């Protein structure tokens, strides 16, 4: 293909020069689009193409070692999960994980953001150190918490024991429900900074005058929070919620590191099930179907959020 | 702007993309990519040293090696197979995956590459690991099984003269150890939701007169013996004999707990002996670690039972450098290299276990005088897991059953029956 580059190059550079000499008003839309083609092509190849291919795979009986759809089973890959108890259990578990972890993150994030916004002594330090948990890769974070929860050497046992809250070391990860909540705790620690920083940035744009005016009108601290701050924060909360909900619903890595889905499948979420189906059992077809089901669920949740929280600004 | 220009732009872009995808010309040494694990067997430091030796002796080949945890190895291999050419030229394959990998055509059939001397010098049971339907798909490398370890100092302190020979005796000795306050939980196992749980279960199952599959190839682990075995595991936690953290532990956790003096008994692969009994950096109980035959249940026909956890190195069928890759596998499994690094994995060559070979092998390091006799005594009691193409999925079902019983989500009978039903479905 070297010849094509060789002959096309002069035309390419001539056009660039011609284009750059034109003033903004002389440039046409189609010329602009031409320069977008390379970027669009890259986006198509690395984003759209795999999605389309996965969609095709989800209708076929495909094994991982030969990822070419030859034998189509159409909706069988989707239907087989409808009657699968493991699937529904993992959906509920994922919903619980998402609801509790995002809920906790929002409450804690708002509290931390408000704290920083009040600019107490050392607030710059708090804001800078907030970034640390968020900057740690999830895998590393998982490994840290796996050690914290360790039954024989874990820091959690040592802490609770020295405080006198437990009389002997506990095996934290041997109970399904406890394990799920402990994974949530690890996830919250990791993700609270993200929400806190977004909300803190939004809080700092709220003019002080608005709150001062309401104080003059006699609003107490709760009224100021619920009637002024929260409504003004709504767009920022929406962004944080959508991003975190989608992330939490797809949770995989932190579970893989801390519990490997155990004990007794007690922490198997829908993404973990997709991993088992695709890579452990090698059924790429039904694994693809599962990943499309995840996409469908997250899309619905994002739409619900937008419906509830997004209100176009109108003059009342 | 002319249509001609836009067309030209597209041509240029495609040309650039295509030229980026084109294979590069062959220059310099051939690269052989190897996937190994960081767990039992040789340590990564030892594996790196072997690679360095090979690269030095073979200037036309350059071996690059990567390590993953055992529990990620299977998935890493299957994912790599989807690429063309595959990401690796040589992979470490567990005994239980050979049937699946051979069926899927991942591995190079090396039956004709093996010379007659190697064929006869290596244990027949080692060849069984890498052989599927009469064809050899790799070189056996790690001839491993589970062994029984005990802390002699703790037993002496409790006034116990000899290690247990039956599981009933182990329970009685554990009760004494607990009563005297020597150790809180006398035995630690690897019962996490992973292959490790299957290994320990199979050891106990065969020691109780049970078996994994029956003669017709149907699952038999839910037999009365299987149910009694799983019930015994549950009871041992309830009695405070088994460390309750075992439900979350893998082999490395077992090693850590045992090496820190927090257990009197443990089951593990061979590598634990050197690290726990000899290595002062890794263990606080150096000098107190002893090995003996794994106990069996009272009245069992065989005096002991163990599980075969052997692995082999195989060349990938689609690798562009099969010959170079095979040279590395031969080097890695050669008698000289196997002897040099025998502290963590014993050689696959049967000539090393008798006469002059034995004397030479036991003199090689501090661990071999203990581990070589232990191997000779334990290996006849070693059992293999079923070689079926659906093993990985069946294993997850059985892991789930064991964990459901241990966490009391189901009774042992119900849990094992459900897993057996899954095996029957997979075998159809």
Are the beta carbons of A154 and A174 closer than 8 angstroms? no
Q: Which residues pair with B35 in a beta bridge?
A: B66, B91
Residue B110 to residues B76, B86, B132, B139, B408: CA-CA distances in angstroms?
22, 18, 12, 9, 47
Within 8 A of A38 by CB-CB distance, chain B residues are 9, 13
pLDDT at site A31: 75
Cβ–Cβ below 8 Å for A37 and B13: yes
In the stretch 175-194 of chain B, residues with CB closer than 8 A to chain A read 192-194
Look at residue B96 and tell me whether its pLDDT is greater than 60: yes
Q: Does A263 touch chain B if contact means CB atoms closer than 8 Å?
A: yes
Per-residue pLDDT tens digits for A30-45: 777 888 888 899 999 9
Q: Does B406 touch chain A if contact means CB atoms closer than 8 Å?
A: yes
What is d(CA A82, CA B366) in angstroms, rounded to the nearest whole number?
A: 59
Does A72 reside within a domain?
no
Give me the residue from A11, A28, A261 closest to B193, CB to CB.
A261
The predicted complex's ipTM stands at 0.82
Does A63 reside within a domain?
no
Cβ–Cβ below 8 Å for B396 and A15: no
Specify whether A222 is located in the same domain as A261.
yes
Q: Which two tokens stand for residue A94?
A: 């994922």
The CATH number of whichever domain residue A256 belongs to comes to 1.10.3720.10
What is d(CA A106, CA A80) in angstroms, rounded to the nearest whole number?
A: 36
Q: Which two tokens stand for residue A184?
A: 């949530």
pLDDT at site A316: 45
Specify whether A147 is located in the same domain as A92.
yes
Give me the residue from A34, A150, A261 closest to B6, CB to CB.
A34
What is d(CA B184, CA B158) in angstroms, rounded to the nearest whole number?
A: 13
pLDDT at site B16: 62
Look at residue B21 and tell me whether its pLDDT is greater than 80: no
A with B: how many residue pairs have Cβ under 8 Å apart?
A: 128
The SS3 assignment for A168 reads: coil
Q: Does A264 touch chain B if contact means CB atoms closer than 8 Å?
A: yes
Specify whether A45 is located in the same domain as A167.
no
Per-residue pLDDT tens digits for B310-329: 999 999 999 999 999 999 99
Does A64 reside within a domain?
no
What is the arithmetic mean of pLDDT over B230-249?
Answer: 95
pLDDT at site B32: 94
Look at residue B27 and tell me whether its pLDDT is greater than 70: no
Does A66 reside within a domain?
no
Reported as a pLDDT band with limits 50, 70 and 90, residue A74 is: confident
A168 burial type by CB count under 10 A (0-12 exposed, 13-18 middle, 19+ buried): exposed
pLDDT at site B173: 97
Does A70 reside within a domain?
no
Q: Which CATH class is domain B147-307+390-427?
A: alpha beta
Cβ–Cβ below 8 Å for B404 and A264: yes
Reported as a pLDDT band with limits 50, 70 and 90, residue A234 is: confident
* Dihedral over alpha carbons A32, A34, A39, A42 (to 10 degrees): 160
What is the arithmetic mean of pLDDT over A77-83?
Answer: 89
Per-residue pLDDT tens digits for A176-197: 999 999 999 999 999 999 999 9
What is d(CA A268, CA A177) in angstroms, rounded to the nearest whole number?
A: 11
Specify whether A36 is located in the same domain as A87.
no
Which of A56-65, A179-188, A262-271, B18-27 has the least mean pLDDT?
Answer: B18-27
Q: Which residues pair with B316 in a beta bridge?
A: B107
Look at residue B252 and tell me whether its pLDDT is greater than 70: yes
What is d(CA A195, CA A247) in angstroms, rounded to the nearest whole number?
A: 13
Within 8 A of B13 by CB-CB distance, chain A residues are 37-38, 41
Q: Does A276 touch chain B if contact means CB atoms closer than 8 Å?
A: yes
What is the arithmetic mean of pLDDT over B276-283?
Answer: 92
Q: Which two tokens stand for residue B353?
A: 């276990």
Q: Hey, what long-range contacts does B179-183 have (CB within 8 A, 24 or more apart)? A: B182/B154, B182/B157, B182/B158, B182/B264, B183/B154, B183/B261, B183/B262, B183/B263, B183/B264
In the stretch 216-255 of chain B, residues with CB closer than 8 A to chain A read 243-245, 247-248
Residue A147 to residues A143, A172, A258, A259, B201: CA-CA distances in angstroms?
6, 11, 9, 11, 26
Are the beta carbons of B47 and B17 closer than 8 angstroms? no
In chain B, DSSP finds a helix count (H) and a strand count (E) of: 18, 13
CATH code of the domain occupying B30-144+309-380:
3.40.190.10
Look at residue B51 and tell me whether its pLDDT is greater than 60: yes
Look at residue B20 and tell me whether its pLDDT is greater than 70: no
The SS3 assignment for B349 reads: strand
Percent of chain B at pLDDT > 70 equals: 94
Whether the bond between B84 and the residue before it is cis, its omega within 30 degrees of 0, is: no
Which of B242, B241, B264, B267 minimizes the C-alpha distance to B254?
Answer: B267
Cβ–Cβ below 8 Å for B19 and A1: yes
pLDDT at site A315: 46
B38 burial type by CB count under 10 A (0-12 exposed, 13-18 middle, 19+ buried): middle
Are the beta carbons of A201 and A117 closer than 8 angstroms? no
Per-residue pLDDT tens digits for B130-187: 999 999 999 999 989 999 999 999 999 999 999 999 999 999 999 999 999 999 999 9
Specify whether A92 is located in the same domain as A29.
no
Specify whether A100 is located in the same domain as A32.
no
- Per the structure, the count of domains in chain A is 2
Count CB-CB contacts under 10 A for residue A162: 9
What is d(CA B15, CA A3) in angstroms, rounded to the nearest whole number?
A: 9
Specify whether A133 is located in the same domain as A12.
no
Q: Which residues pair with A72 in a beta bridge?
A: A60
Specify whether A45 is located in the same domain as A173.
no
Q: Which residues contact A228 (CB under 8 A, 6 or more apart)?
A: A206, A210, A211, A214, A219
Domain span including residue A196: 78-309
Are the beta carbons of B306 and B382 closer than 8 angstroms? yes
pLDDT at site B23: 52
Does A32 reside within a domain?
yes
Does A67 reside within a domain?
no
Q: Does B78 touch chain A if contact means CB atoms closer than 8 Å?
A: yes
Are the beta carbons of B192 and B302 closer than 8 angstroms? no
Are the beta carbons of A203 and A240 closer than 8 angstroms? no
What is d(CA B267, CA A282) in angstroms, rounded to the nearest whole number?
A: 31
Specify whether A12 is located in the same domain as A93.
no
pLDDT at site B235: 97
Specify whether A140 is located in the same domain as A221.
yes
Specify whether A230 is located in the same domain as A145.
yes
Look at residue B345 and tell me whether its pLDDT is greater than 90: no
Which of B419, B5, B3 minimizes the C-alpha distance to B212?
Answer: B419
Does A62 reside within a domain?
no
Specify whether A36 is located in the same domain as A105.
no
pLDDT at site A231: 87
Which of B411, B402, B407 minimizes the C-alpha distance to B419?
Answer: B402
Look at residue B25 and tell me whether its pLDDT is greater than 70: no
Give me the residue from B15, B78, B247 closest to A279, CB to CB.
B78
pLDDT at site B201: 97
- Identify the residue among A26, A30, A32, A152 best suited for mutation to test binding to B, counting B beta carbons within 10 A and taking the highest: A152
What is d(CA A55, CA A50) in angstroms, rounded to the nearest whole number?
A: 8
Q: Where are the domains of chain B?
A: 30-144+309-380, 147-307+390-427
Percent of chain A at pLDDT > 90 equals: 43
A68 burial type by CB count under 10 A (0-12 exposed, 13-18 middle, 19+ buried): exposed
What is d(CA A21, CA B416) in angstroms, rounded to the nearest whole number?
A: 78
Cβ–Cβ below 8 Å for A282 and B74: no
Are the beta carbons of A255 and A139 closer than 8 angstroms? no
pLDDT at site A66: 78
Mean pLDDT, chain A, as a whole number? 87
What is d(CA B403, CA A276) in angstroms, rounded to the nearest whole number?
A: 17
């Amino acid at each position: 293909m070297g010849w094509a580059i060789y002959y096309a190059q002069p035309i390419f550079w001539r056009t660039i020069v011609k284009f750059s000499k034109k003033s903004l008003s002389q440039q046409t839309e189609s010329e602009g689009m031409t320069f977008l083609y390379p970027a669009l092509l890259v986006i198509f190849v690395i984003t759209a193409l795999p999605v389309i291919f996965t969609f095709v795979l989800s209708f076929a009986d495909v094994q991982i070692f030969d990822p070419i759809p030859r034998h189509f089973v159409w909706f069988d890959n989707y239907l087989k999960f409808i009657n699968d108890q493991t699937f529904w259990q993992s959906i509920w578990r994922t919903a619980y994980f998402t609801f509790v972890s995002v809920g906790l993150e929002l409450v804690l994030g708002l509290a931390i953001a408000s704290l920083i916004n009040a600019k107490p002594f050392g607030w710059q330090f708090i804001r800078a150190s907030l970034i640390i948990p968020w900057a740690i890769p999830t895998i590393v974070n998982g490994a840290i918490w796996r050690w914290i929860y360790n039954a024989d050497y874990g820091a959690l046992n040592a802490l609770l024991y020295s405080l006198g809250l437990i009389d002997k070391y506990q095996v934290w990860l041997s109970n399904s429900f406890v394990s799920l909540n402990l994974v949530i705790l690890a996830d919250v620690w990791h993700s609270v900074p993200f929400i806190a920083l977004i909300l803190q940035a939004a809080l700092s744009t709220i003019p002080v005058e608005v709150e001062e005016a309401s104080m003059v009108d006699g609003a107490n601290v709760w009224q100021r929070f619920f009637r002024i701050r929260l409504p003004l924060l709504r767009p920022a909360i929406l962004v944080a919620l959508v991003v975190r909900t989608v992330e939490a619903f797809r949770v995989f890595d932190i579970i893989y590191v801390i519990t490997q889905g155990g004990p007794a499948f007690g922490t198997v979420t829908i993404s973990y099930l997709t991993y088992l189906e695709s890579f452990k059992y090698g059924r790429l077809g039904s694994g693809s179907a599962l990943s499309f089901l995840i996409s469908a669920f997250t899309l619905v949740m994002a739409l619900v959020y937008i419906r509830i929280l997004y209100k176009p600004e109108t003059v009342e | 702007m002319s249509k001609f220009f836009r067309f030209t732009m597209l041509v240029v872009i495609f040309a650039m993309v295509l030229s980026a995808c084109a294979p590069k010309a062959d220059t310099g040494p051939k690269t052989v990519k190897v996937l190994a694990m960081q767990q039992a067997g040789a340590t990564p430091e030892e594996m790196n040293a072997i690679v360095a030796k090979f690269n030095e002796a073979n200037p036309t080949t350059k071996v690059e090696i990567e390590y993953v945890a055992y529990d990620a190895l299977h998935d890493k291999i299957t994912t790599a197979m989807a690429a063309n050419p595959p990401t690796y030229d040589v992979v470490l394959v567990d005994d239980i995956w050979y049937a699946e990998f051979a069926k899927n055509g991942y591995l190079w059939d090396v039956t004709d590459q093996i010379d007659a001397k190697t064929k006869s010098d290596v244990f027949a049971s080692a060849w069984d690991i890498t052989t599927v339907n009469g064809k050899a798909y790799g070189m056996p490398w790690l001839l491993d099984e589970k062994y029984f370890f005990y802390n002699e100092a703790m037993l002496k302190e409790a006034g116990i003269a000899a290690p247990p020979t039956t599981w009933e005796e182990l329970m009685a000795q554990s009760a004494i150890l607990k009563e005297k306050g020597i150790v809180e939980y006398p035995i630690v196992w690897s019962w996490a939701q992973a292959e490790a749980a299957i290994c320990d279960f199979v050891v106990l199952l065969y020691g109780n007169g049970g078996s994994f599959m029956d003669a017709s190839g149907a699952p038999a682990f839910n037999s009365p013996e299987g149910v009694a075995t799983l019930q015994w595991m549950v009871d041992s936690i309830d009695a405070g004999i088994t460390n309750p953290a075992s439900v979350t532990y893998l082999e490395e956790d077992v090693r850590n707990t045992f090496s820190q003096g927090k257990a009197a008994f443990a089951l593990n692969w061979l590598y634990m002996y050197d690290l726990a009994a000899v290595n002062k950096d890794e263990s606080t109980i150096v000098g107190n670690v002893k090995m003996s035959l794994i106990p069996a249940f009272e009245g069992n026909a065989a005096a002991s039972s163990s599980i075969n956890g052997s692995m082999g190195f195989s060349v990938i069928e689609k690798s562009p450098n099969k010959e170079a890759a095979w040279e590395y596998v031969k080097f890695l499994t050669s008698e000289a290299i196997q002897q040099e690094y025998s502290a963590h994995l014993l050689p696959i060559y049967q000539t090393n276990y008798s006469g002059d070979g034995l004397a030479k092998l036991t003199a090689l390091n501090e661990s071999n005088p203990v581990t070589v006799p232990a191997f000779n005594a334990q290996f006849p009691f070693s059992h293999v897991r079923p070689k079926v193409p659906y093993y990985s999925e069946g294993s997850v079902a059985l892991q789930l059953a064991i964990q459901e019983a241990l966490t009391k989500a189901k009774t042992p009978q119900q849990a094992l029956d459900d897993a057996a039903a899954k095996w029957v479905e997979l075998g159809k």
